[in-house]
């Protein structure tokens, strides 16, 4: 087989195992409803928690930023790519997050690549929750530190590993966890993690991609939600989910952010956010500073939808956030459910192994503040219809 034949053979294997990713194309803006592959459907699977991806104020801010600064930054941040719109975004984001400073990079993915290898050496230890996001796993791979993986949300196991690392003579102990776990919608036990970290003098880093704009006062994130300001050393966030744009950031003390500006490779070697992205993200921060109304609407919607589905007999697992897994357990059933939903005008993807464990396949519903009660009622009606057809509920 030549190179291309090898690639095709590997993809055929993915197809045989039901693991081949089919990529749908949108023909309209993100929103409660959108057009996918020529069909207008109710959108139940994007990360557009607050409806900001097509927000009028943010669109206007992006256009104004383009008029003033053009379309590209022209360089990496450390050479000639830092515009005052970037520093303004970092300043207002830090105030919003109630931290001393922030560093904005191109994506949440890049934020993890920026921090983890920059602050650890072969003399250090990294302790990572087994279900942490791929971008954390890759960031850890880039570090020469010794790696310890602790059982999901198991702080006892974390403490064992901390002891082990300390006894092995680690200089720094860096604990990393997702804030909200994106497949189950459950929260990291951050208060307990912080307590054990303080006992061992460890550094705590939380990647709150699904919590930024969602948890805490006006969407200030999981650290605010648990009132842990000043006790979590590093917050990583994304501007690509609830904030509705694209980009990532690191929030923390000034010394940390100053250091990252010297050492973080995605900051030093990849161009900065475009002016439109920075301008739109800045407007998102301003909207949230003005009012938490849209965040409250998100939570109202999530609660409403979950209660209706539970009343029908569906299992929504241990979700504590607007991420709503509708458990179907069997991967084939989940796939069929998703296809039937699409026929009925609802776009909600099924998720199976290896993204979630075998036997825990589901439809993952992402609730948004952009949904109206009528949209959610429409969805509930279709879930009921298909659930009965497939004998999931009575
Ligand atoms: C989505 C996600 C990211 C990636 O964010 P992008 O801005 O899309 O690159 C990183 N970490 C976690 C935990 C995520 O859920």
Cα dihedral 210, 214, 219, 225 sign: negative
Task: Tell me which of 108, 214, 221, 321 to substitute to probe ligand 1's pocket, judged by most ligand atoms within 8 Å of the beta carbon.
Answer: 108
pLDDT digits (tens, 9 = 90+) for 147-156: 999 999 999 9
Catalytic residues: 182, 210, 241
Which numeric CATH code is attached to 3-54+292-390? Answer: 3.90.1150.10
Give the C-alpha separation, 256 to 100, whole Å. Answer: 10
Report whether residue 135 contacts ligand 1, using a CB cutoff of 6 Å: yes
Rounded to two decimals, the pTM is: 0.96
Residue 314 is predicted with a pLDDT of 98
Q: Look at ligand 1, atom 14, and give the residue with the nearest C-alpha.
A: 209
For the cut 80, the answer to whether the pLDDT of residue 139 exceeds it is yes
Task: Tell me which of 130, 238, 270, 321 to substitute to probe ligand 1's pocket, judged by most ligand atoms within 8 Å of the beta carbon.
Answer: 238
Residue 22 is predicted with a pLDDT of 84
With helix as H, strand as E and coil as C, how does the chain read? CCHHHHHHHHHHHHHHCCCCCCCCCECCCCCCEEEECCEEEEECCCCCCCCHHHCHHHHHHHHHHHHHHCCCCCCECCCCCCCHHHHHHHHHHHHHHCCCEEEEECCHHHHHHHHCCCCCCCCCEEEEECCCCHHHHHHHHCCCCEEEEECCCCHHHHHHHHHHHHHCCCCCEEEEEECECCCCCCECCHHHHHHHHHHHCCEEEEECCCCCCCCCHHHCCHHHHCCCCCCCCEEEEECCCCCCCCCEEEEECHHHHHHHHHHCHHHHHCECCCHHHHHHHHHHHHHHHHCCHHHHHHHHHHHHHHHHHHHHCCCCCCCCCCEEEEEEECHHHHHHHHHHHHHCCEECCEECCCCCCCCCEEEEEECCCCCCHHHHHHHHHHHHHHHHHCCCCC
Q: How many whole angstroms from 183 Cα to the centroid of ligand 1?
A: 13
Q: Look at ligand 1, atom 5, and give the residue with the nearest C-alpha.
A: 108
Q: Among 365, 359, 364, 363, which Cα is nearest to 329's?
A: 359
pLDDT digits (tens, 9 = 90+) for 27-69: 999 999 999 988 999 999 999 999 999 999 999 999 999 999 9
- pLDDT tier for residue 354 given thresholds of 50, 70 and 90: confident
Q: How many whole angstroms from 277 Cα to the centroid of ligand 1?
A: 16
Q: 56-290 belongs to which CATH class?
A: alpha beta
Task: Tell me which of 139, 209, 221, 247 to substitute to probe ligand 1's pocket, judged by most ligand atoms within 8 Å of the beta carbon.
Answer: 209
pLDDT digits (tens, 9 = 90+) for 175-232: 999 999 999 999 999 999 999 999 999 999 999 999 999 999 999 999 999 999 999 9
What number does the ligand 1 atom closest to the CA of 178 have?
13
Q: How many whole angstroms from 35 Cα to the centroid of ligand 1?
A: 24
CB atoms within 10 A of CB 84: 11
* Spatial strand order in the sheet of 33-36: 33-36, 39-43, 346-347
Q: How many whole angstroms from 239 Cα to the centroid of ligand 1?
A: 9
Q: How many whole angstroms from 104 Cα to the centroid of ligand 1?
A: 14
Report whether residue 132 contacts ligand 1, using a CB cutoff of 6 Å: no
Q: Look at ligand 1, atom 6, and give the residue with the nearest C-alpha.
A: 108
Q: Where are the domains of the chain?
A: 3-54+292-390, 56-290
Mean pLDDT of the chain: 97
Residue 224 · residue 217 · CB < 8 Å: yes
Q: How many whole angstroms from 240 Cα to the centroid of ligand 1?
A: 8
What's the mean pLDDT in 344-371? 94
For the cut 90, the answer to whether the pLDDT of residue 8 exceeds it is yes
Q: Report residue 147: phi and psi, to 5°.
A: -105, 135
- pLDDT tier for residue 236 given thresholds of 50, 70 and 90: very high
Residue 18 is predicted with a pLDDT of 74
Report whether residue 128 contacts ligand 1, using a CB cutoff of 6 Å: no
Residue 149 · residue 122 · CB < 8 Å: no
For the cut 80, the answer to whether the pLDDT of residue 326 exceeds it is yes
pLDDT digits (tens, 9 = 90+) for 81-104: 999 999 999 999 999 999 999 999
Report whether residue 109 contacts ligand 1, using a CB cutoff of 6 Å: yes
Report whether residue 188 contacts ligand 1, using a CB cutoff of 6 Å: no
């Amino acid at each position: 087989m030549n190179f291309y034949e090898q690639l095709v053979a590997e993809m055929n294997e993915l197809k045989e195992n039901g693991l081949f990713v089919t990529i749908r194309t949108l023909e309209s803006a993100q929103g409660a409803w959108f057009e996918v592959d020529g069909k207008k459907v109710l959108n139940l699977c994007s990360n557009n928690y607050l409806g900001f991806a097509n927000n009028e104020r943010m669109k206007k801010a992006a256009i104004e930023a383009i008029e003033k600064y053009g379309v590209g930054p022209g360089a990496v941040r450390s050479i000639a790519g830092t515009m005052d719109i970037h520093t303004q975004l970092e300043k207002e984001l830090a105030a919003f997050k109630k931290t001393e400073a922030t560093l904005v990079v191109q994506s949440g993915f890049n934020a993890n690549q920026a921090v983890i290898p920059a602050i650890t050496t072969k003399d250090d230890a990294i302790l990572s929750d087994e279900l942490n996001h791929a971008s954390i796993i890759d960031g850890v791979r880039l570090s020469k530190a010794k790696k310890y993986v602790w059982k999901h949300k198991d702080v006892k196991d974390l403490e064992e590993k901390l002891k082990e690392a300390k006894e092995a003579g680690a200089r720094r102990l860096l604990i990393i966890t997702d804030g909200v776990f994106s497949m189950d919608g459950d929260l990291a036990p951050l208060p307990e993690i912080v307590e054990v970290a303080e006992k061992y003098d460890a550094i705590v880093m939380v990647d709150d991609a699904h919590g930024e704009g969602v948890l805490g006062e006006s969407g200030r994130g999981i650290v605010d939600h648990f009132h842990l300001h000043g006790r979590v050393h590093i917050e990583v966030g994304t501007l690509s989910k609830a904030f509705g744009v694209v980009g990532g950031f690191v929030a923390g003390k000034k010394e940390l952010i100053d250091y990252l500006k010297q050492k973080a490779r995605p900051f030093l070697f990849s161009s900065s956010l475009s002016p439109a992205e920075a301008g739109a993200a800045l407007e998102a921060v301003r909207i949230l500073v003005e009012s938490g109304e849209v965040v409250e609407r998100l939570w109202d919607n999530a609660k409403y939808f979950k209660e209706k589905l539970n009343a029908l007999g569906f299992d929504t697992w241990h979700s504590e956030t607007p991420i709503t897994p509708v458990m179907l357990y069997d991967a084939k059933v989940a796939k069929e459910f998703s296809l039937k939903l699409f026929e009925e005008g609802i776009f909600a993807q099924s998720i199976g192994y290896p993204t979630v464990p075998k036997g825990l396949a589901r439809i993952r519903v992402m609730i948004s503040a952009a949904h109206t009660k009528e949209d959610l009622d429409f969805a509930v009606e279709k879930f009921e219809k298909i659930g009965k057809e497939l004998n999931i509920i009575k």
